[in-house]
A and B are shown apart, each in its own frame.
Chain A
């Protein structure tokens, strides 16, 4: 777009009456680059569930912090973003790097904790199925969190985010064949831990 992004997109949004929720990711990023916080808030709302789920599985203790830090990095990079309709790839590259870097901390993390315990569900005795399903999901999440980082990111992007191998290869910077092999090895390890 050739106009000044600081003013005109906002005015156009008002004139056309299009809400932020109707705008594409690229339009929202452009508005965010012009300083429109609500546009960025719309993006955060649009992707927070996916990003938080990824980050919580990566690090059950710091998951939401990592997710928030990733969004802050996206905000910091908003003016460098090239609108090519690939925000999910851009965002998950940030998310993946943030998670990988977090593991380089000097302190070892404490033992895994349950993911966002739903207290009301646990307190209700007539929701046994839901509790059992939740227990199973927790076991899976714990095992995923214990995979080596290269396998973990491949498994989470493939099965958690349902990304194509080409997209995952772009995010992790590895050939597609390598990514396929990592997904296979990750899945095999999970099967060994959970299904045998």
Chain B
């Protein structure tokens, strides 16, 4: 059922009709199911705009805002871009010169092409934050790379840089071939607790998180190491992550499971078996 006057409903709701026309339309609405249905739908739409779902963690927002009062005002995005462009213009010729002279260090393995992994998360956060897992084997420490074989005695550490200018939150864990989740950050030692992602402060130079963690009881086979970076206001807890991972094994990429605003990175490695055959 249609009615030519339904087009005026939006104007009525927006109070954009002359009084006489508005009254006439109100009278028409009483006897026109098409128009009254249309108005109900439009009012529902307006009500949806008026609701405010999902604005969570107000106290954290207040704390973070107050913490930013002391920081010097950030330059505009335009100036940041110009500054970055100037750095690139200066650095490129110098870098080229350095390579030509053979003075630039050749360290394959210390750079990871991020584009080779599934790209998820906020593009802005992704530009500002980097997290690198490090494989700790005895006294040796090196970047974790896809495909590497982990030994049961190996441990992992994590290094991050955070250029966002504010404190963010980090989680790091691994999912073994059986689907068991092994937590690095936050520490998850008591099943009765539900710790949240740990804070990572703004820091331009890479910072190593304090603990080196050796996961226990990892099943031999594929092991996915996952890092998540999120805004303070979107900080997840261990149990929220585990609910998302529930029933998943490590055969498929885990990054797409996480909300789009979270920067998720993952590395796929292989766990060697224990001496007892696990």
Contacts and interface: CB of A to CB of B under 8 A. Distances in A.
| B interface majority secondary structure | helix
Given A52-B55, A106-B78, A180-B14, A160 B49 contact: yes
A128 B13 CA distance: 31
Contacts of B53: 134, 137
A68 B77 contact: no
Interface in A60-85: 61-62, 64, 67-68, 71-72, 75-76
How many residues of B sit at the interface, in one of the four size bands? 35 or more
A87 interface: no
B25 to A, nearest CB: 13
A64 B61 contact: yes
A129 B200 CA distance: 36
A180 B15 contact: yes
Interface in B63-103: 64-66, 68-69, 73, 77-78, 81
A175 interface: no
B124 A61 contact: yes
Contacts, number: 137
B10 A187 contact: yes
B233 A48 contact: no
Contact of B240 (A62, A120, A155): A120
B276 interface: no
Interface stretch (A4-12, A16-24, A39-47): A39-47
B204 interface: no
Interface of B: 10-11, 13-16, 38, 41-42, 45-46, 48-56, 58-59, 61-62, 64-66, 68-69, 73, 77-78, 81, 122-124, 231, 233-234, 236, 240, 243-244, 246, 259-261
Contacts of B54: 56, 115-116, 118, 134
Nearest to B240: A119
| A interface majority secondary structure | helix
A15 interface: no
A180 B17 CA distance: 9
B184 to A, nearest CB: 20
